[in-house]
Structure 1
Amino acid sequence: MGPNSQINNLVLYDGVCRFCNSSVNFILNHERNQKLLFAPLQSDLGQSVLRQFELPKDYTNSLLFLSDEKLYSHSNAAFKIVSFLKMPWQIILILRFLPTSITDYFYNLIARHRYKLMGKTEACEIPAPENKGRFLE
């Protein structure tokens, strides 16, 4: 068991990426039952998870999703997160039946250009007060 084994439904994201922060806000606004937790990859918790799963400390290649001691990345993480969203957004889950090579290709295409799409911030954004307890930093 790793040091983060008690944490479930944790979304890890690039905290200085505006596209990633917008994605987190989208999730918060469309989530069904407020079961997801969030932490920037750059936070102490994010760094601890990266170490636990032997990923580089500067990893920002994808959103990560941690649950039941399993870490999901790329399109697999996105599908796990979408399963927590309200309808009609859950319709996206139909795409999980495509080969991972296809879904990861499109995920990586967006991820590669995310800074060009929306830029970077100097520091991780501060969550809205009503969501502050869901951010583990």
Structure 2
Amino acid sequence: MSPDGLMLFDGVCHLCDGAVRTVLRLDRAGVVRFTPILSPYGRKLALTHGLDPNAPESFLFFDRGRPLTKTAAVAALLRRLPAPWRWLAVVDRLPRGPADAAYDWIAANRYRLLGKRDRCRVPTDEQRARFILD
């Protein structure tokens, strides 16, 4: 069975890391959990669901056992956030083709636009319970 409420993210990407930090700040109930794509568990999930862990084109978000990518993943993640942030899930109402094309452009240019780290950020002791690293 696939996990629920789990975000598989590119841990060296500044944009992705910023998204994780934002979700950690907004989701005080701890509904969303995280795993970097370069962790052993992250690599296994990525390969199982068709993502290259060395060159991911999207993050994965597991929603009720369904692995979602691109705009669908963004919308499902946003639906897990508390009000008033949840309303941003309206991104799911946009035409999927153009929305995913915009996502693809941002994903393809994320390192050039925002840079990347040499290695994944280590979660604080307080955040560690929300990360699956093995």
- The percent of aligned pairs where both chains have the same amino acid is 29
Report how many residues are paired: 133
Match of 2:87 in 1: 91
- Does the 8 Å contact 2:74/2:89 carry over to 1? no
Gaps of 5+ in 1: none
| Cα distance in 2, alignment partners of residues 85 and 119 from structure 1 | 26
TM-score (norm 1): 0.87
Specify whether residues 18 and 123 from structure 1 end up closer, same or farther in structure 2 by C-alpha distance, changes over 3 A only.
Answer: same
TM-score (norm 2): 0.89
**What RMSD over aligned residues (CA atoms) do the two structures have, in Å?**
1.7
**CA-to-partner distance for each residue in 1:87-127, whole Å, 9 max, x for gaps?**
33222122211221122122222212211222111110011
Question: Cα distance, 1:29 vs. partner?
Answer: 0.8
- Does the 8 Å contact 2:14/2:116 carry over to 1? yes
| Cα distance in 1, alignment partners of residues 113 and 50 from structure 2 | 29
Gaps of 5+ in 2: none
| Cα distance in 1, alignment partners of residues 96 and 76 from structure 2 | 13
Match of 2:51 in 1: 55
Match of 2:75 in 1: 79
Question: Cα distance, 1:32 vs. partner?
Answer: 5.4
Match of 2:31 in 1: 35
